[in-house]
Homo-oligomer: A and B are copies of this chain.
């Protein structure tokens, strides 16, 4: 009578399943957006612009956030680069506003982010 051999479970050493499709272009673009927003000061600026109708003067940001004008400009440059913010000069002051042509999905995303 043959000795019963203990059956070892079969264990795959490789992958079993494909990952769901995630587009690399989406990941790159969204990571850039997240980077632009990954800072409390920049989030505060975006939320301020979101919550007001009128453009906000750089002078109100320096006063309200207790930061220097170059620091505000630096952060705003990053938000402009990400297409979130736009600016215009009025007299001696720069005024910032959310970008007029924010896509509907970005607008929805910002709304969701700010309402949390």
Contact = CB atoms under 8 A, between A and B. Distances in A.
B35 A22 contact: no
A36 to B, nearest CB: 8
Q: By DSSP majority rule, is chain A's interface helix, strand, loop, or mixed?
A: helix
A71 to B, nearest CB: 15
A109 B113 contact: yes
Given A30-B116, A34-B34, A112-B109, A11 B65 contact: no
Given A22-B48, A91-B11, A57 B109 contact: no
Given A59-B16, A105-B116, A112-B109, A31 B38 contact: yes
B19 A31 contact: no
Interface string A67-98: 00000000000000000000000011000000
A62 B15 contact: yes
A11 B91 CA distance: 9
A2 interface: no
A85 B19 CA distance: 16
